[in-house]
Structures are given as C-alpha cells and as structure tokens.
C-alpha cells in the first residue's frame, strides 16, 4: 500500500515508539471527514450547528489550557545554537531527541494513529512540497482536510522515492484500559513544538490547537520551509497574496507581510471603494515564492483553507470572510447562540441577550468576560471565499509585482513609502515594527520589532534570513560584492536581469493630533493599492525623500474621501525628527542580532541617517 520506502520505514518506527491501538491511512474524502465528526460528537467535544442556519458546520470547545500557539515552548534544534539565532529557543538536538523519545514513548496507547499525507500547494506545482502528519487527534484530521490537500494523489506524487517532511503530533494523553477519554485531551504541562531544520522534521506534543497541531501551517510552511527556501534559493513568507485589477482589466499580484492584529485577512479580501477596481484573494497567511523562467517571483498559497481569528470579523470589517463561512465550517472556541449558531465579539454591534460562552457557560452582555475566546477560530476552505481568484491554484503560481511590509504605528511611519531598491525594501522588512497596545501609542520605545512578520516563524537565525533576502535580490543567491543597491529605479536585479517586485512599507494606523486614526483603512486601503499598481505600471508619481519614495500629493486618489484638509499631507509627511529618534532604536535592534547582520542593512541604515541629517540641516 505504501510505495514510498522512507515513509514505510518511518511509520514503522513511529508505531513502535507511540504504540497506538491502530493505524489509519487517511483518504481525505468526505466519508472520512464525517467519521471524524461522529467520533468528536460522541466524545462530547463537538456540536453540530443548526442545519438551517449553518449547514454542515461544527462548534468545538477546547480545553481552556490549550487555546493558542505557545512560543515559549517552540524550539528550533539546529546543530549549532548560532544557527537558531536570538529569535528562537534552541536546545541541543541530541538532548531534545532524548526528551522527545521519553514523551512520545507509548503516547498513543488507546488511540488511533492517523497518517495524513498532505500537500502544501497544489499537487504537481513545482513550488509545492509534501508532508506527512501522524496524529492521534481526529480534530486535527478534520482541520487538515480543509487546510491542506490530503489523500492518495499526494502519495502518488510522492512515488517510491520522493521526499516529504515528517510531522509527528500527539495530544500526549494515552488511554490505558478502563480510562475514560476527556472531551479535549491535551498535556499542556509537557508542551513541545520542536523543529529539526537539518533533517527537516517536526515533533509536536501536548496541544491539539491550531498552529501547535496543524503542522502544515506555521511549523512546516514557515519554520521548516524557510530553511528549505534558504537552501534552495526561494522565499517562504508569512504573507497574504492578493490580485488587483484596474478598470481596464489589467491585473497585478501583491504579497504582504503584517504582524498579527494588523488586518491581514481583511486586506486579502478587501472590497475596493474606488470605482471600477477589483480585489481578489489568493491567500491570507502564507506565501511561497520561487523565480520563474521569466525572472519574476511566482507565488503560491501553500494552504487550501483559512484558519482565521473570528473575533472582530463582521459584515462591516470583512464581508467576504463572513460569506466564506456560511456553511461547511469548523468553529473553535466561539460562543453559541440559543438557536444553535455562532457569535463572537465584533460580529454584531449589539450582542445577543443570551449565549453559551466558549467554555460552555451561560453568558449575557453583563458578563465580565468575552463570550468567545479572543483567539477563537474559523476553519474554512479557501474555495468558499466569494472573491477567491480563479487562478489561486495555478501550478505555476502568480507573478508578484509588489511586496508590502506593514505594522501598527500611530506616529512617524507614513501611509505608504516605496523602497528605492530591493536592498532598501529588505531594510524596511527588517525594521518592521508594531505597537504592542493602543496604550503605548506615540511611545516609540515600546515597539515590538517583528521583521517581515516572521519573528515567531523564521526557522533559523533572523540575521541570516535577512542575508538570504539580500541574496535573492542579486539573483540565484550569488554574492557579487556589488552594493550599489540598484538605485536605477527599474527594480531589475543587479545580476541576472531579474524582475524583482517593488517593496513598500505601509501603515494604515497613523493617528492625528487628536489621537484618532488619520486613515479610514479597510476598503479605502484600495487607494494605496491603486498607487502601488500605478507605480508598477510606470505611471504613478513619486517624490524622492530621505526615507524613500512617497506618493506625490496628487498621486494618491482620495476622491470622494472625507479627510480633514491637511489629512493627506500629514499621512505622507516625512517626520525628520521622529525618524532621527528611531535611528538608535534600529541600531539597537540590529545590534541584538550581532555580527551576522548583512553589511547591506548597515549601509541602508547609514544612508537613512545621512539623508535625514542633511534634510534637518537644510531645514535649518
């Protein structure tokens, strides 16, 4: 049955270690999906929602101790500590293997081991990769059905000798004879989310939730894939991918990295407010990019579904997400309405008078705690999104014209700033930051740097990852010592005539003097996308400033938008003093990564500092 010898041998080894009662090879079909739900319904952890309101959908309540990714228990076990970098928790691999052997020994007693062959990316795409997850959680099997492509076609693609990423997962709660199972088995006190970059293996123990357990997502598609991408000369990124089409019918594709709570899913599915423009979705979380023969970076969304944060999602903030989840959906840790549907904070302006909260307790608007857990999730097939682009599963991927880096900054960072070169764009990504809370607004000392939104997801030393980005811009990863940074404005690579994407630093969250958001955001962000589109077409006007290329004041289409008279100018102003105050913070940020920080980034920092000082002098 299993033609792949490496897979068969690994299965034998894992079966001996974990001692499950039985082994089931997953087919990925509807019968199997429904069977998982019968098991979960029997166990009392899942509930079928009202068929009239939310057909073929389920509500699951996790253990309150297992509700989110746990970064402090996530490890990168490279041979050398230096290769994990200060951005990761490191444990020496032999020591970690000993720990894992102890934890996994007999961990599936009384349970079934499901074998999930899955593809990240459309099967057959040269950008896709295959993984196999072994898990003792039917909830994980059901979610993997939606989030990845599962089944025989993956085994066929693997063939006898193909490579796959082995992903072993256990909730860490063996059942001995006579033991009664609990609704949501887990073992939070022994949580381990472990990656071995050298052998490209993932071991996850103790949690059944989200990114800890659906190993194709953060563990494979970002942490392990970033290592593979470094070795093979491509990019595995925490980015949405969108398609934008102008009124003449010309389309371009844009990727964007934003830290959590910056509206990534909303941007991926936005409804433009400017007439005649259209935005469609390719992906909302992860983007894999490889160079095509045309010298452009071609992107796929390696996932097949959305695992989105429910609270805050509404018909106002993201109608396309709401319309994606009308049926065939899994909801985890949301609240339940009295008529068997779901609710979460922000879904409607007025909450229902009575709910059952995410822990199964009665809830009314007077309750002290939120009805849904803040990290409550929906799992839904991407194909259900009303604005999913027709080409979202194209094997060749889509050519990327622009890359956005963004954060939540109430001061200093303008609405949009175009890098004058790939090198400066990498610098923008490397210094990306977000304010931790609204309370910290304006206090630049309280920023969290989250480079390329990859801080929790880069599977190796962040400074080496910046170096990899610099090398990508020079073509095939070659170092040519040419530090001119390609300032000729056409964004061609210095080496091989690559057509690199343009890079933009965006900030939807700048505030005005009265502390209010200066920019309306959401669908109005299409105005910024329009300028970026026009820049890529070679028509949008920009002015050279000490921090990069900003839109000429008339180049940003604000027609019909009610901003205060100085609004646009303020959103696009270059705050010389604010940026000068930022310089030592960036120096400190780079210093924290030490010697491996690429010279190119130090050069960009010096360039920025020089330009700012010159501008300050000129201003007198």
467, 520, 590, 598, 599 from 595: Cα distances, Å: 12, 41, 9, 8, 9
Q: Is 283 in the site for ligand OXD (CB under 6 A)?
A: no
81, 105, 187, 406 from 11: Cα distances, Å: 30, 14, 23, 42
Angle in degrees, CA 303, 308, 309, rounded to 5: 155
Cβ atoms of 428 and 410 within 8 Å: the answer is no
Looking at beta carbons, which residue is closest to Mn ion? 285
- By the 10 Å C-beta count (0-12 exposed, 13-18 middle, 19+ buried), 48 is classed as middle
Q: Which of these ranges, 221-229, 281-289, 322-330, 482-490, lies near Mn ion under the rule CB under 5 A?
A: 281-289
Binding mask 591-610 for ligand OXD (x = CB under 6 A): --------------------
User: In whole angstroms, what is the distance from residue 28 CA to residue 154 CA?
Assistant: 10
Cβ atoms of 120 and 302 within 8 Å: the answer is yes
Choose between 13 and 71: whose C-beta lies nearer to ligand OXD: 71
Choose between 147 and 431: whose C-beta lies nearer to ligand OXD: 147
Q: Count the helix, strand and coil residues of the chain and give each as a percent rounded to the nearest 5.
A: 30, 20, 45
Q: Which of 295, 254, 294, 172 is nearest to 525 (CA)?
A: 254
Q: Is 448 in the site for ligand OXD (CB under 6 A)?
A: no
Choose between 74 and 471: whose C-beta lies nearer to ligand OXD: 74
Binding mask 44-83 for ligand OXD (x = CB under 6 A): -------------------------x--------------
Rg of the chain taking only CA atoms, in angstroms: 24
Choose between 237 and 285: whose C-beta lies nearer to Mn ion: 285
Choose between 285 and 534: whose C-beta lies nearer to Mn ion: 285
467 binds, among ligand OXD, Mn ion, none (CB under 5 to 8 A by kind): none
Q: Tell which positions 160-199 bind ligand OXD, by CB under 6 A.
A: none
Q: Is 406 in the site for ligand OXD (CB under 6 A)?
A: no
Angle in degrees, CA 138, 140, 143, rounded to 5: 110
Q: Which of these ranges, 89-97, 282-290, 387-395, 528-536, lies near Mn ion under the rule CB under 5 A?
A: 282-290
Which residue out of 167, 262, 287, 536 is catalytically annotated? 262
Q: Are strands 165-170 and 201-205 parallel, antiparallel or unpaired?
A: parallel
CB of 285 to Mn ion, least distance (A): 4
Which of 93, 206, 211, 302 binds ligand OXD (CB under 6 A)? It is: 211
Cβ atoms of 40 and 46 within 8 Å: the answer is yes
Q: Which of these ranges, 280-288, 310-318, 506-514, 537-545, lies near Mn ion under the rule CB under 5 A?
A: 280-288
CB of 260 to Mn ion, least distance (A): 6
DSSP conformational letter for 234: -
Q: Helix 599-619 to helix 422-431 angle, to the nearest 10 degrees?
A: 90
CB of 579 to Mn ion, least distance (A): 29
Which of 133, 285, 450, 524 binds ligand OXD (CB under 6 A)? It is: 285
CB of 397 to ligand OXD, least distance (A): 21
Residue with tokens 């077409």: 537
CB of 71 to ligand OXD, least distance (A): 10
Which of 66, 280, 285, 604 binds Mn ion (CB under 5 A)? It is: 285
Chain Cα centroid distance, residue 272: 22
193: enclosing H helix or E strand? strand 192-196
Binding mask 216-255 for ligand OXD (x = CB under 6 A): ----------------------------------------
The answer to whether 186 is a known catalytic residue is no
User: In whole angstroms, what is the distance from residue 418 CA to residue 430 CA?
Assistant: 15
Q: Are strands 342-343 and 335-337 parallel, antiparallel or unpaired?
A: antiparallel
Task: Extract the tokens encoding 226.
Answer: 């970033």
Choose between 69 and 200: whose C-beta lies nearer to ligand OXD: 69
Choose between 93 and 308: whose C-beta lies nearer to Mn ion: 308
Residue with tokens 């082994």: 23
211 binds, among Mn ion, ligand OXD, none (CB under 5 to 8 A by kind): ligand OXD
Q: Is 263 in the site for ligand OXD (CB under 6 A)?
A: no
86, 171, 402, 522, 552 from 348: Cα distances, Å: 42, 35, 35, 17, 39
Binding residues with ligand OXD: total (CB under 6 A)? 4
Q: Is 464 in the site for ligand OXD (CB under 6 A)?
A: no
Choose between 131 and 151: whose C-beta lies nearer to ligand OXD: 131
Q: What are the strands, taking DSSP E only, across 73-151? A: 74-76, 112-120, 129-135, 149-150
Which of 260, 278, 384, 603 binds ligand OXD (CB under 6 A)? It is: 260
Choose between 306 and 460: whose C-beta lies nearer to ligand OXD: 306
Query: Which residues of the chain form contacts with ligand OXD (CB under 6 A)?
Result: 69, 211, 260, 285
Q: Which residues bind Mn ion (CB under 5 A)?
A: 285
List active site positions: 262
């Amino acid at each position: 049955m299993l033609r792949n010898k490496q897979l068969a041998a690994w299965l034998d080894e894992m079966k001996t270690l974990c001692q499950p009662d039985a082994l089931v090879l997953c087919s990925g079909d509807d019968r199997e999906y429904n069977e998982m739900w019968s098991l979960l319904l029997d166990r009392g952890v899942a509930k079928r929602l009202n068929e009239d309101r939310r057909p073929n959908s389920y509500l699951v309540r996790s253990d309150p101790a297992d509700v989110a990714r746990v970064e402090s228990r996530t490890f990168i076990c490279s041979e050398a500590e230096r290769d994990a970098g200060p951005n990761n928790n490191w444990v020496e691999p032999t020591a970690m293997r000993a720990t894992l052997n102890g934890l996994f020994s007999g961990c599936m007693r009384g349970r079934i081991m499901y074998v999930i062959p899955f593809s990240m990316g459309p099967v057959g795409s040269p950008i896709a990769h295959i993984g196999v997850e072994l898990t003792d959680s039917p909830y994980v099997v059901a979610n993997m059905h939606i989030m990845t492509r599962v089944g025989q076609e993956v085994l066929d693609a693997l063939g006898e000798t193909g490579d796959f990423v082995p992903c072993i997962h256990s909730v860490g709660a063996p059942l001995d004879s006579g033991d009664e199972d609990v609704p949501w088995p887990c073992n939070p006190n022994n949580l381990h989310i472990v990656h071995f970059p050298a052998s490209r293996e993932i071991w996850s123990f103790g949690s059944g939730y989200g990114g800890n357990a659906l190993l194709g997502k953060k563990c494979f598609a970002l942490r392990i894939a970033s290592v593979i991408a470094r070795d093979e000369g491509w990019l595995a990124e925490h980015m949405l991918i969108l398609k934008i089409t102008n009124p003449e019918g010309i389309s371009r594709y844009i990727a964007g990295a934003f830290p959590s709570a910056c509206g990534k899913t909303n941007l991926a599915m936005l409804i433009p407010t400017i007439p005649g423009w259209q935005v469609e979705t390719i992906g909302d979380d992860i983007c894999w990019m490889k160079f095509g023969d045309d010298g452009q970076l071609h992107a796929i969304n390696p996932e097949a579904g959305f695992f989105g944060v429910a609270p805050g999602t509404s018909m106002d903030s993201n109608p396309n997400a709401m319309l994606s989840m009308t049926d065939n959906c899994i909801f985890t840790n949301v609240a339940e309405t009295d008529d068997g549907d779901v609710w979460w904070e922000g879904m409607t302006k007025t909450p229902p008078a009575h709910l059952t909260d995410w822990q199964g307790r009665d809830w009314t608007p007077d309750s002290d705690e939120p009805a849904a857990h803040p990290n409550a999730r929906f799992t839904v097939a991407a194909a259900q999104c009303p604005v999913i682009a027709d080409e979202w599963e194209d094997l060749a991927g889509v050519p990327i014209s622009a890359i956005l880096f963004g954060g939540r900054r109430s001061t200093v960072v303008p609405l949009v700033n175009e890098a004058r070169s790939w090198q400066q764009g990498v610098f923008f990504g490397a210094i990306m930051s977000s304010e931790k809370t609204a309370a910290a607004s304006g206090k630049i000392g309280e920023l969290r740097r989250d480079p390329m939104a990859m801080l929790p997801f880069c599977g190796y030393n962040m400074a080496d990852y910046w170096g990899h980005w610099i090398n990508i811009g020079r073509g095939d990863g070659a170092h040519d010592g040419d530090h001119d940074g390609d300032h000729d404005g056409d964004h061609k690579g210095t080496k091989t005539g690559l057509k690199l994407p343009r890079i933009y630093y965006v900030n939807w969250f700048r505030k005005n003097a009265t502390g209010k958001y200066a920019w309306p955001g959401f669908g109005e962000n299409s105005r910024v996308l329009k300028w970026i589109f026009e820049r890529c077409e070679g028509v949008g006007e920009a002015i050279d400033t000490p921090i990069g290329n900003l839109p000429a004041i008339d180049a940003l289409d604000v027609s019909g938008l009610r901003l205060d008279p100085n609004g646009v100018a303020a959103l696009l102003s270059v705050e010389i003093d604010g940026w000068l105050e930022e310089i030592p913070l960036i120096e400190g940020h780079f210093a924290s990564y030490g010697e491996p920080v690429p010279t190119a980034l130090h050069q960009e920092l010096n360039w920025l500092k020089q330009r700012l000082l010159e501008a300050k002098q000129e201003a007198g």
